[in-house]
Structure 1
């Protein structure tokens, strides 16, 4: 079960990183317009997500990668809040963004748990 939790998170985070390149318009909409270099930030954060997920895959880098991912998830939390307040910009029901906020806590717990395996 531990391996499933670990590999599941790795796949989830790699997919999220790839999404930064395949759904860039979604991510651009998710960021306030006043933020400079939005597209660069989107690409760099996608690369970071993929690299951190790969770091989770290896036992000797798993603890550090898990902490980095937890910090990363905390840092992007304001973007998730912003999205909850602007649901009209997306083709997704607004309540989904509000449900996503507590899920972020679950993702943080999940990655901190699997970094110990």
Structure 2
């Protein structure tokens, strides 16, 4: 079960990171307008997601990768709040029912954090 958690986490964040480069316009509307350099923020986020996902594969750096993902997800919380504040509609982009924004913030995001945290925490049992 642990290997499934680990490798699915790797694939999920590697894919998400690559998507920041393939489809950057999707993310620009999700970056709060009070933050400068949305292009740089998007590229840095994607790069960090890819690097941290790769660290998960290394027994030596797995804990750093997992905790890095947890930290990155915490930094993404303002984006989720911003999305809710703008009515779950990205200017010149997509619109979702407002409950979806709340669901992502309250349910999905904590589950993603819990998933990455468990990959790092459980690694002690299997890696040492």
Q: Under a length normalisation based on structure 2, what TM-score does the superposition of the two structures give?
A: 0.84
Give the Å deviation of 1:75: 1.1
Maintained 8 Å contact 2:83/2:89: no
Alignment of 1:3-18 (within 5 A): 3-18=3-18
Please name the residue that 1:97 is paired with.
Answer: 101
Larger Cα-atom Rg: 2
CA RMSD in angstroms comes to 1.3
Residues 50-91 of structure 1, C-alpha deviations (whole Å, 9 max, x = no match): 000000111110011111111111111111111122212223
Please name the residue that 1:29 is paired with.
Answer: 29
Greater helix share, structure number: 1
Gaps (5+ residues) in structure 2? 124-128
Give the Å deviation of 1:94: 2.7
Distance in 1 between the 2:34 and 2:102 partners?
23
Q: Under a length normalisation based on structure 1, what TM-score does the superposition of the two structures give?
A: 0.91
Residues 20-51 of structure 1, C-alpha deviations (whole Å, 9 max, x = no match): 11221121101122321110110011001000
1:78 aligns with 2:78: yes
Gaps (5+ residues) in structure 1? none
